[in-house]
Structure 1
Amino acid sequence: MFTIEHDFDATVITLVDEGGTPLKEDVAINAFEDCVTLEQFDTRRNETVTITLSMTQLRDLSAALDLPEGVYRIVRPRE
């Protein structure tokens, strides 16, 4: 299950783990104009961990989900 909310400066997507046990904590994805952050509560450290992706990293991640194992570089055509 997931939710989508539109805030003033970001779109927030929350992913809820509904799989078998043990369940993982919810993941909040915040899409800003210049970056995307992923947040998840870490029960071992008792704190929220945040990962920040640049828009280039997000584009690469999106492409990687559909590619076989290997090393890649996305080259954008010159305008």
Structure 2
Amino acid sequence: MFTIEHEFDHTAITLIDEGEEPRAEDAVILAFEDCVVVEQIDPMLDEPVRVTFSLSQIRDLMAALNLPEGVYPKK
């Protein structure tokens, strides 16, 4: 299950794990004009962990999801 919320300066997508136990914490993706932030609560620390991707990294990730193993230079 997931939710989508449009805010003034970003879009927030929340991925809710509905799988079998143990379930992962919800993952929140914040899409800004110039970057994408992925946030998830670390259950050991009870604090959010954040990773920020540039838009170029996101494009590479999207391409990589559909490619076989290997090294791919920029075009």
**Alignment TM-score, normalising by the size of structure 2:** 0.97
**Cα offset, 1:45, TM superposition:** 1.8
Question: Tell me, which stretches of 5 or more residues in structure 1 are unaligned?
Answer: none
Q: Which residue of 1 is the match for residue 67 of structure 2?
A: 67
Aligned residue identity for 2:44: R
**Alignment TM-score, normalising by the size of structure 1:** 0.92
- Runs of 4+ with deviation above 6 angstroms: none
**Cα offset, 1:73, TM superposition:** 1.9
Once residues 64 and 70 of structure 1 are traced to their aligned partners in structure 2, the CA distance between those partners, rounded to angstroms, is 10
What is the number of residues matched between the two proteins?
75
Aligned alpha-carbon RMSD (Å): 0.6
Once residues 74 and 61 of structure 2 are traced to their aligned partners in structure 1, the CA distance between those partners, rounded to angstroms, is 11
Aligned residue identity for 1:18: E
Once residues 18 and 46 of structure 2 are traced to their aligned partners in structure 1, the CA distance between those partners, rounded to angstroms, is 22
Q: Rg: which structure is higher?
A: 1
